[in-house]
Structure 1
Protein backbone atom coordinates (compact mmCIF):
# COMPACT_ATOMS: atom_id res chain seq x y z
CA UNK A 1 0.00 0.00 0.00
CA UNK A 2 1.35 3.41 -0.88
CA UNK A 3 1.67 6.35 1.45
CA UNK A 4 -0.83 9.20 1.24
CA UNK A 5 0.31 12.13 -0.89
CA UNK A 6 2.02 14.66 1.40
CA UNK A 7 2.09 18.23 0.13
CA UNK A 8 4.86 20.69 1.00
CA UNK A 9 4.24 23.73 3.13
CA UNK A 10 3.53 26.60 0.73
CA UNK A 11 6.08 29.43 0.66
CA UNK A 12 4.39 31.77 -1.81
CA UNK A 13 0.86 32.83 -2.67
CA UNK A 14 1.18 31.03 -6.02
CA UNK A 15 2.22 27.81 -4.27
CA UNK A 16 -0.67 28.19 -1.82
CA UNK A 17 -3.11 28.40 -4.74
CA UNK A 18 -1.46 25.44 -6.50
CA UNK A 19 -1.69 23.33 -3.33
CA UNK A 20 -5.40 24.15 -3.01
CA UNK A 21 -5.96 22.98 -6.60
CA UNK A 22 -4.08 19.76 -5.87
CA UNK A 23 -6.12 19.13 -2.72
CA UNK A 24 -9.15 19.16 -5.00
CA UNK A 25 -7.48 16.63 -7.30
CA UNK A 26 -6.67 14.31 -4.41
CA UNK A 27 -10.37 13.92 -3.67
CA UNK A 28 -11.04 12.65 -7.20
CA UNK A 29 -10.91 9.14 -8.62
CA UNK A 30 -7.40 9.21 -10.18
CA UNK A 31 -5.25 12.29 -9.57
CA UNK A 32 -2.40 10.62 -11.54
CA UNK A 33 -4.47 9.86 -14.67
CA UNK A 34 -3.18 11.45 -17.86
CA UNK A 35 -6.68 11.82 -19.26
CA UNK A 36 -7.53 14.91 -17.22
CA UNK A 37 -6.47 18.49 -18.01
CA UNK A 38 -4.67 18.68 -14.63
CA UNK A 39 -2.95 15.63 -13.12
CA UNK A 40 -0.16 14.83 -10.69
CA UNK A 41 3.41 14.15 -11.73
CA UNK A 42 6.51 13.63 -9.60
CA UNK A 43 9.99 14.92 -10.26
CA UNK A 44 13.33 15.34 -8.57
CA UNK A 45 16.28 17.64 -8.62
CA UNK A 46 19.24 15.31 -8.26
CA UNK A 47 21.99 16.66 -6.03
CA UNK A 48 25.56 15.68 -5.28
CA UNK A 49 26.01 17.19 -1.79
CA UNK A 50 29.83 16.87 -1.59
CA UNK A 51 30.30 19.09 -4.65
CA UNK A 52 27.17 21.25 -4.29
CA UNK A 53 26.09 20.39 -7.84
CA UNK A 54 22.70 19.61 -9.33
CA UNK A 55 21.78 17.59 -12.40
CA UNK A 56 19.59 19.08 -15.14
CA UNK A 57 18.11 17.30 -18.17
CA UNK A 58 17.18 18.82 -21.51
CA UNK A 59 13.44 18.40 -22.13
CA UNK A 60 12.75 18.75 -25.83
CA UNK A 61 8.99 19.22 -25.48
CA UNK A 62 9.43 22.15 -23.09
CA UNK A 63 12.63 23.33 -24.80
CA UNK A 64 14.22 23.81 -21.38
CA UNK A 65 16.76 22.45 -18.93
CA UNK A 66 14.73 21.01 -16.06
CA UNK A 67 14.80 18.44 -13.27
CA UNK A 68 14.04 14.78 -14.07
CA UNK A 69 10.62 13.24 -13.52
CA UNK A 70 7.28 12.49 -15.04
CA UNK A 71 4.07 10.54 -14.95
CA UNK A 72 3.01 7.66 -12.76
CA UNK A 73 2.91 4.27 -14.43
CA UNK A 74 -0.37 2.34 -14.13
CA UNK A 75 -0.94 1.35 -10.51
CA UNK A 76 1.60 3.82 -9.10
CA UNK A 77 0.50 6.46 -6.62
CA UNK A 78 3.50 7.09 -4.33
CA UNK A 79 5.13 10.31 -5.58
CA UNK A 80 8.53 9.62 -4.02
CA UNK A 81 8.70 6.18 -5.65
CA UNK A 82 7.64 7.70 -8.96
CA UNK A 83 10.39 10.35 -8.69
CA UNK A 84 12.95 7.66 -7.83
CA UNK A 85 11.91 5.46 -10.78
CA UNK A 86 11.84 8.37 -13.22
CA UNK A 87 15.19 9.62 -11.92
CA UNK A 88 16.84 6.23 -12.45
CA UNK A 89 15.29 5.81 -15.91
CA UNK A 90 16.29 9.26 -17.12
CA UNK A 91 19.83 9.34 -15.67
CA UNK A 92 21.00 5.75 -15.39
CA UNK A 93 21.90 6.37 -11.74
CA UNK A 94 21.21 3.22 -9.73
CA UNK A 95 21.99 4.65 -6.30
CA UNK A 96 19.47 7.49 -6.03
CA UNK A 97 18.13 8.07 -2.55
CA UNK A 98 15.82 10.65 -1.01
CA UNK A 99 17.71 13.65 0.34
CA UNK A 100 17.66 14.96 2.95
CA UNK A 101 14.55 13.15 4.19
CA UNK A 102 12.19 12.23 1.36
CA UNK A 103 9.71 15.06 1.87
CA UNK A 104 8.56 17.03 -1.16
CA UNK A 105 10.35 20.39 -1.36
CA UNK A 106 8.12 22.14 -3.88
CA UNK A 107 4.80 21.85 -5.67
CA UNK A 108 4.27 23.65 -8.96
CA UNK A 109 1.47 23.56 -11.51
CA UNK A 110 3.09 23.88 -14.91
CA UNK A 111 1.54 24.16 -18.37
CA UNK A 112 2.48 21.48 -20.89
CA UNK A 113 2.15 22.41 -24.56
CA UNK A 114 0.14 20.29 -26.97
CA UNK A 115 1.91 17.55 -28.90
CA UNK A 116 0.76 15.30 -31.73
CA UNK A 117 -0.24 12.60 -29.24
CA UNK A 118 -1.90 14.82 -26.63
CA UNK A 119 -3.61 18.10 -25.95
CA UNK A 120 -2.18 20.93 -23.92
CA UNK A 121 -2.64 20.23 -20.22
CA UNK A 122 -1.17 20.96 -16.79
CA UNK A 123 1.06 18.98 -14.46
CA UNK A 124 0.74 19.37 -10.72
CA UNK A 125 4.37 18.49 -10.12
CA UNK A 126 5.48 17.28 -6.69
CA UNK A 127 9.23 17.87 -6.48
CA UNK A 128 11.76 16.02 -4.36
CA UNK A 129 15.52 16.09 -3.90
CA UNK A 130 17.42 12.90 -4.61
CA UNK A 131 21.13 12.36 -4.00
CA UNK A 132 23.72 10.19 -5.66
CA UNK A 133 27.19 9.09 -4.59
CA UNK A 134 28.14 8.24 -8.18
CA UNK A 135 27.68 11.41 -10.26
CA UNK A 136 30.05 10.21 -12.99
CA UNK A 137 27.76 7.26 -13.76
CA UNK A 138 25.08 9.33 -15.52
CA UNK A 139 23.78 7.99 -18.82
CA UNK A 140 21.08 9.92 -20.70
CA UNK A 141 18.09 7.75 -21.57
CA UNK A 142 18.40 8.91 -25.19
CA UNK A 143 20.56 11.26 -27.27
CA UNK A 144 17.83 13.92 -27.31
CA UNK A 145 17.86 14.19 -23.49
CA UNK A 146 21.38 15.23 -22.48
CA UNK A 147 22.28 15.61 -18.82
CA UNK A 148 24.51 18.23 -17.20
CA UNK A 149 25.99 18.49 -13.71
CA UNK A 150 26.10 22.15 -12.75
CA UNK A 151 27.09 24.34 -9.86
CA UNK A 152 24.04 25.98 -8.32
CA UNK A 153 24.63 29.38 -9.96
CA UNK A 154 25.23 27.73 -13.36
CA UNK A 155 21.99 25.77 -13.02
CA UNK A 156 20.03 28.91 -12.13
CA UNK A 157 21.39 30.64 -15.25
CA UNK A 158 20.88 27.67 -17.58
CA UNK A 159 17.21 27.04 -16.85
CA UNK A 160 14.68 29.40 -18.37
CA UNK A 161 11.97 28.39 -15.90
CA UNK A 162 11.45 30.52 -12.78
CA UNK A 163 9.82 27.60 -10.97
CA UNK A 164 12.89 25.43 -11.61
CA UNK A 165 15.12 28.22 -10.27
CA UNK A 166 12.93 28.22 -7.14
CA UNK A 167 13.46 24.45 -6.75
CA UNK A 168 17.21 25.01 -7.15
CA UNK A 169 17.08 27.77 -4.52
CA UNK A 170 15.34 25.42 -2.10
CA UNK A 171 18.00 22.79 -2.74
CA UNK A 172 20.74 25.38 -2.18
CA UNK A 173 19.25 26.26 1.20
CA UNK A 174 19.17 22.60 2.24
CA UNK A 175 22.72 22.11 0.94
CA UNK A 176 23.85 25.07 3.05
CA UNK A 177 25.06 26.92 -0.03
Structure 2
Protein backbone atom coordinates (compact mmCIF):
# COMPACT_ATOMS: atom_id res chain seq x y z
CA UNK A 1 0.00 0.00 0.00
CA UNK A 2 1.39 3.41 -0.96
CA UNK A 3 1.29 6.43 1.32
CA UNK A 4 -1.38 7.94 -0.94
CA UNK A 5 -3.65 4.90 -0.74
CA UNK A 6 -3.12 4.66 3.03
CA UNK A 7 -4.15 8.31 3.42
CA UNK A 8 -7.32 7.65 1.40
CA UNK A 9 -8.34 4.92 3.85
CA UNK A 10 -8.14 7.21 6.88
CA UNK A 11 -11.38 8.26 8.49
CA UNK A 12 -12.10 11.99 8.77
CA UNK A 13 -11.21 11.73 12.47
CA UNK A 14 -7.91 9.98 11.73
CA UNK A 15 -7.08 12.61 9.11
CA UNK A 16 -7.68 15.42 11.59
CA UNK A 17 -5.61 13.70 14.26
CA UNK A 18 -2.76 12.96 11.83
CA UNK A 19 -2.25 16.70 11.30
CA UNK A 20 -3.05 17.83 14.84
CA UNK A 21 -0.18 19.02 17.06
CA UNK A 22 -0.81 18.86 20.82
CA UNK A 23 0.34 21.80 22.94
CA UNK A 24 0.89 20.06 26.28
CA UNK A 25 2.10 16.68 27.53
CA UNK A 26 -1.39 15.89 28.83
CA UNK A 27 -2.90 16.73 25.46
CA UNK A 28 -0.24 14.61 23.70
CA UNK A 29 -1.32 11.62 25.81
CA UNK A 30 -4.97 12.28 24.93
CA UNK A 31 -4.13 12.59 21.23
CA UNK A 32 -2.21 9.28 21.34
CA UNK A 33 -5.30 7.61 22.79
CA UNK A 34 -7.45 9.40 20.20
CA UNK A 35 -5.31 8.15 17.32
CA UNK A 36 -5.63 4.59 18.65
CA UNK A 37 -9.41 5.02 18.96
CA UNK A 38 -9.66 6.48 15.44
CA UNK A 39 -7.93 3.38 14.04
CA UNK A 40 -10.62 1.12 15.53
CA UNK A 41 -14.05 0.13 14.31
CA UNK A 42 -16.41 2.92 15.39
CA UNK A 43 -14.90 5.71 17.46
CA UNK A 44 -18.33 7.42 17.60
CA UNK A 45 -20.18 4.54 19.26
CA UNK A 46 -21.78 5.63 22.51
CA UNK A 47 -21.60 2.00 23.66
CA UNK A 48 -17.80 2.28 23.96
CA UNK A 49 -16.30 3.51 27.24
CA UNK A 50 -14.34 6.11 25.22
CA UNK A 51 -16.06 7.71 22.23
CA UNK A 52 -15.81 10.87 20.14
CA UNK A 53 -17.81 14.05 20.61
CA UNK A 54 -17.59 17.32 18.69
CA UNK A 55 -17.91 20.68 20.40
CA UNK A 56 -17.21 24.36 19.88
CA UNK A 57 -16.71 27.63 21.58
CA UNK A 58 -19.03 30.11 19.91
CA UNK A 59 -17.59 33.60 19.74
CA UNK A 60 -18.60 37.04 18.57
CA UNK A 61 -15.27 38.37 17.27
CA UNK A 62 -16.33 42.04 17.11
CA UNK A 63 -17.16 42.20 20.84
CA UNK A 64 -14.59 39.59 21.93
CA UNK A 65 -17.26 37.61 23.77
CA UNK A 66 -17.82 33.88 24.13
CA UNK A 67 -21.15 32.08 24.40
CA UNK A 68 -21.45 29.42 27.10
CA UNK A 69 -24.30 27.01 27.75
CA UNK A 70 -25.54 25.89 31.16
CA UNK A 71 -25.13 22.13 31.43
CA UNK A 72 -27.74 21.01 33.94
CA UNK A 73 -26.31 17.53 34.59
CA UNK A 74 -22.79 18.85 35.24
CA UNK A 75 -23.99 22.08 36.88
CA UNK A 76 -21.45 24.07 34.86
CA UNK A 77 -21.15 26.63 32.06
CA UNK A 78 -19.60 24.83 29.10
CA UNK A 79 -19.07 25.03 25.36
CA UNK A 80 -21.78 23.68 23.06
CA UNK A 81 -21.51 20.29 21.43
CA UNK A 82 -22.24 16.63 21.77
CA UNK A 83 -22.52 13.23 20.18
CA UNK A 84 -22.67 12.35 16.51
CA UNK A 85 -25.99 11.44 14.95
CA UNK A 86 -26.11 8.15 13.01
CA UNK A 87 -23.96 8.41 9.90
CA UNK A 88 -21.98 11.47 11.05
CA UNK A 89 -18.22 10.93 11.01
CA UNK A 90 -16.74 14.44 10.78
CA UNK A 91 -16.03 16.21 14.09
CA UNK A 92 -16.53 19.70 12.63
CA UNK A 93 -19.91 18.73 11.15
CA UNK A 94 -20.98 17.37 14.54
CA UNK A 95 -19.82 20.54 16.31
CA UNK A 96 -21.60 22.79 13.79
CA UNK A 97 -24.87 20.85 13.97
CA UNK A 98 -24.83 20.73 17.76
CA UNK A 99 -23.96 24.44 18.00
CA UNK A 100 -26.80 25.41 15.67
CA UNK A 101 -29.27 23.22 17.57
CA UNK A 102 -28.20 24.41 21.02
CA UNK A 103 -27.92 28.13 20.24
CA UNK A 104 -30.39 28.79 17.43
CA UNK A 105 -27.64 30.63 15.55
CA UNK A 106 -27.80 29.91 11.82
CA UNK A 107 -24.79 31.92 10.66
CA UNK A 108 -22.06 30.00 12.50
CA UNK A 109 -18.77 29.60 10.63
CA UNK A 110 -15.43 28.06 11.68
CA UNK A 111 -13.04 30.67 13.09
CA UNK A 112 -10.44 31.49 11.84
CA UNK A 113 -10.40 28.20 9.90
CA UNK A 114 -11.69 24.63 10.11
CA UNK A 115 -8.87 23.21 12.24
CA UNK A 116 -9.66 21.93 15.73
CA UNK A 117 -8.18 24.04 18.53
CA UNK A 118 -8.18 21.42 21.28
CA UNK A 119 -8.38 17.64 21.54
CA UNK A 120 -9.10 16.43 25.06
CA UNK A 121 -10.43 13.38 26.83
CA UNK A 122 -12.90 14.30 29.56
CA UNK A 123 -14.42 11.95 32.12
CA UNK A 124 -18.20 11.70 32.30
CA UNK A 125 -19.74 10.55 35.57
CA UNK A 126 -22.30 7.79 35.63
CA UNK A 127 -25.96 8.71 35.48
CA UNK A 128 -29.13 6.65 35.86
CA UNK A 129 -29.15 6.25 32.06
CA UNK A 130 -25.49 5.36 31.43
CA UNK A 131 -22.30 4.17 33.13
CA UNK A 132 -19.26 6.37 33.67
CA UNK A 133 -17.34 6.84 30.44
CA UNK A 134 -15.03 9.25 28.63
CA UNK A 135 -15.52 11.67 25.76
CA UNK A 136 -12.77 12.26 23.24
CA UNK A 137 -13.84 15.84 22.59
CA UNK A 138 -12.60 17.45 19.38
CA UNK A 139 -13.10 21.19 19.87
CA UNK A 140 -13.47 23.99 17.35
CA UNK A 141 -14.17 27.72 17.40
CA UNK A 142 -17.25 29.00 15.60
CA UNK A 143 -18.10 32.65 15.02
CA UNK A 144 -21.37 34.52 14.62
CA UNK A 145 -22.15 38.01 13.40
CA UNK A 146 -25.56 37.95 15.11
CA UNK A 147 -25.03 37.42 18.84
CA UNK A 148 -28.48 38.72 19.75
CA UNK A 149 -30.14 35.92 17.74
CA UNK A 150 -29.43 33.23 20.32
CA UNK A 151 -32.27 31.08 21.56
CA UNK A 152 -31.65 28.06 23.77
CA UNK A 153 -33.05 24.75 22.58
CA UNK A 154 -34.22 24.06 26.14
CA UNK A 155 -35.12 26.57 28.89
CA UNK A 156 -32.98 24.56 31.33
CA UNK A 157 -29.96 25.02 29.05
CA UNK A 158 -29.50 28.77 29.37
CA UNK A 159 -27.08 30.61 27.10
CA UNK A 160 -24.88 33.44 28.25
CA UNK A 161 -22.49 35.81 26.44
CA UNK A 162 -19.39 36.54 28.53
CA UNK A 163 -16.17 38.45 28.17
CA UNK A 164 -13.08 36.24 28.01
CA UNK A 165 -12.26 37.16 31.61
CA UNK A 166 -15.78 36.33 32.81
CA UNK A 167 -15.75 33.04 30.92
CA UNK A 168 -12.39 32.03 32.38
CA UNK A 169 -13.70 32.71 35.88
CA UNK A 170 -16.99 30.90 35.26
CA UNK A 171 -16.23 27.68 33.43
CA UNK A 172 -14.29 24.45 33.87
CA UNK A 173 -10.47 24.65 33.58
CA UNK A 174 -10.43 22.47 30.44
CA UNK A 175 -12.84 24.88 28.73
CA UNK A 176 -10.59 27.72 29.87
CA UNK A 177 -7.70 25.99 28.11
CA UNK A 178 -9.76 25.85 24.92
CA UNK A 179 -10.70 29.51 25.32
CA UNK A 180 -7.03 30.45 25.72
CA UNK A 181 -6.46 29.06 22.21
CA UNK A 182 -9.00 31.32 20.49
CA UNK A 183 -7.54 33.60 17.82
CA UNK A 184 -9.16 37.01 18.20
CA UNK A 185 -9.13 39.68 15.50
CA UNK A 186 -6.70 42.56 15.71
Same fold per superposition (TM over 0.5): yes
TM-superposed CA distance for 1:62, in Å, is 1.5
Structure 1 residue 54 and structure 2 residue 66: aligned? Answer: yes
Which residue of structure 2 lines up, in the alignment, with residue 4 of structure 1?
12
Contact kept in structure 2, 1:61 and 1:113, CA below 8 Å: no
Match of 1:81 in 2: 93
Q: CA deviation at 1:9?
A: 1.2
Note the alpha carbon deviations across 1:63-97, whole angstroms, 9 max, x for none: 11100000000000011010000000000001111
Q: Give the C-alpha shift of residue 162 in structure 1.
A: 1.1
Give the gaps of 5 or more residues in structure 2.
Answer: 1-9
Asked if residue 123 in structure 1 is aligned to residue 135 in structure 2, the reply is yes
Deviations 1:147-173 (A, max 9, x none): 0001000000011x11100011111xx
Higher Cα Rg, which structure: 2
Does 2:119 match 1:91? no
Q: Secondary structure at the match of 2:62?
A: helix
1:175 is the counterpart of 2:184:
yes
> TM-score of the superposition, structure 2-length normalised?
0.90
CA RMSD of aligned residues (A): 1.3
Structure 2 equivalent of residue 166 of structure 1? 177
**Taking structure 1 as the reference length, what is the TM-score of the superposition?**
0.95
Secondary structure (helix, strand or coil) at the match of 1:175 reads coil
Note if 1:72 corresponds to 2:84.
yes
2:112 matched to which residue of 1? 100
How much does 1:130 deviate?
0.3
Secondary structure of the structure 2 residue equivalent to 1:170: coil
2:55 matches 1:43: yes
Q: CA deviation at 1:176?
A: 5.2
